Amino acid sequence: MNDAGSPVERVVTLPGQGRTVVWDCPGQPGAPTLVLVHGATMTAELNWSAVFPVLGQQFRVLAFDQRGHGRGLGCAGAYRLEQCADDIAGLAAVLGVERLIVIGYSMGGLIAQLCWRRHRQLTAGLVLCATARSIAGLQWARWAKLMMPGLMMPAMAADAGPMPWLAGLRADLIGTHLLGRNHDRADRAWALGQMRRTPLLTAVSAVSAVYAFSSHDWIGGMDVPTAVIITRHDRVVSPARQRRLAAAVPGALVYDIDGEHDVFLTAPGRFAAALRAACQAICPDGVIAGPDGPTAGRARH
């Protein structure tokens, strides 16, 4: 039997959608459920493997590759973040989970916001990491968005025929821009290997969807306990944008940590500790608070 902090891999079929591989860490009996949502070009293993031993001691933890990424569900047509949010609800239904806390990193933070908007009865709380209300205008995202027509046009051409050169291009070509310089070669090589599990076309489409996202008009109505983890030295999603997200969410807790956009790789222990503190704060005493729970304060780590 696996101990409380050790995940097991499960193949789960979502009705009408297909099969996906889920990391499932049972936690303590009756523990609140967390679902971890990774960023664009990443995988659940890359983004979250270091936090399982920490979170899994107290919570039930679920993680899976997002559509088109790694071993996730198939992705046909333009990438839709709303569909990713619906996948979380579909997984919860299959597993019999009625309430959960959605933890999102970068693109995953946008999906987490959408999960609250589209599935409010399911979403008991949010932890938003290294993310914002919008990333429109960020240089790396603009570059990826500009790549989209050049990749999509030949891929969609009726007479294009097989294009092995396109199929061979992988997400690490843009994902490398999400990694900083403060890790050793082995860590970087492993991270890029994880990114190569995802086709470049899917990654660019996902980034295009990220670029188009904005929650400015509705995030002020968020009514569940929320924490925002700010990566102080982030060069991908600026700390200023992350702080504006936190300011827009009523009563949001704020956790500052030293690190760039890849802090989960360069300082996994620091990231895991902040994430555990945030989860404990929004569900004190191991109980998931509802929308009418106590008003959150502000914390800094």
Task: Kindly state the average pLDDT of the residues 208-220.
Answer: 95
Cβ–Cβ contacts within 10 Å for residue 192, how many? 18
The predicted structure's pLDDT at residue 166 = 59
Task: Kindly state the average pLDDT of the residues 114-121.
Answer: 98
- Structure tokens belonging to residue 251: 């009563």
Query: Quick check: 178 pLDDT over 80?
Result: yes
> Which residue ranges make up each domain of the chain?
8-136+214-286, 139-207
The predicted structure's pLDDT at residue 174 = 85
DSSP 269: H
CB neighbour list of residue 298: distance below 8 Å, 6 or more residues apart: 252, 253, 254
Q: Is 94 exposed, middle or buried (0-12, 13-18, 19+ CB in 10 A)?
A: middle
The predicted structure's pLDDT at residue 299 = 41
Residue-wise pLDDT for 96-107, tens only, equals 999 999 999 999
The predicted structure's pLDDT at residue 156 = 42
Task: Kindly state the average pLDDT of the residues 271-285.
Answer: 91
Task: Kindly state the average pLDDT of the residues 220-241.
Answer: 96
Q: Map residue 81 onto helix, strand or coil.
A: helix
Banded model confidence at residue 191, pLDDT cuts 50, 70, 90: very high
Residue-wise pLDDT for 14-56, tens only, equals 998 999 999 999 988 889 999 999 999 999 999 999 999 999 9
Between CA 76 and CA 90 the distance in angstroms is 18
Banded model confidence at residue 232, pLDDT cuts 50, 70, 90: very high
Query: Quick check: 252 pLDDT over 90?
Result: yes
Q: What are phi and psi of 276, to 5 degrees?
A: -60, -45
Query: Quick check: 1 pLDDT over 70?
Result: no
Residue-wise pLDDT for 159-174, tens only, equals 444 455 556 788 888 8
* Residue with the larger pLDDT of the pair 78 and 288: 78
Task: Kindly state the average pLDDT of the residues 65-93.
Answer: 95
- Structure tokens belonging to residue 41: 């070009």
CB neighbour list of residue 76: distance below 8 Å, 6 or more residues apart: none
User: Is residue 170 a contact partner of residue 135, using CB atoms and an 8 Å limit?
Assistant: no
The predicted structure's pLDDT at residue 286 = 63
The predicted structure's pLDDT at residue 185 = 84
Q: CA-CA distances (angstroms) from residue 217 to 14, 117, 120, 214, 220?
A: 31, 12, 17, 8, 7
User: Is residue 217 a contact partner of residue 275, using CB atoms and an 8 Å limit?
Assistant: no
The predicted structure's pLDDT at residue 209 = 93
The predicted structure's pLDDT at residue 64 = 97
* Residue with the larger pLDDT of the pair 255 and 180: 255
Task: Kindly state the average pLDDT of the residues 109-136.
Answer: 96
Specify the range with the lowest mean pLDDT, choosing from 3-12, 100-109, 245-254. Answer: 3-12
Q: Is 300 exposed, middle or buried (0-12, 13-18, 19+ CB in 10 A)?
A: exposed
Between CA 23 and CA 127 the distance in angstroms is 19
Q: Would you identify the CATH topology of the domain 8-136+214-286?
A: Rossmann fold (3.40.50)
DSSP string, 98-148: --EEEEEETHHHHHHHHHHHH-TTTEEEEEEES--S--TT-HHHHHHHHHH
Rounded to the nearest 10°, the torsion over CA 238, 200, 41, 131 is: 30
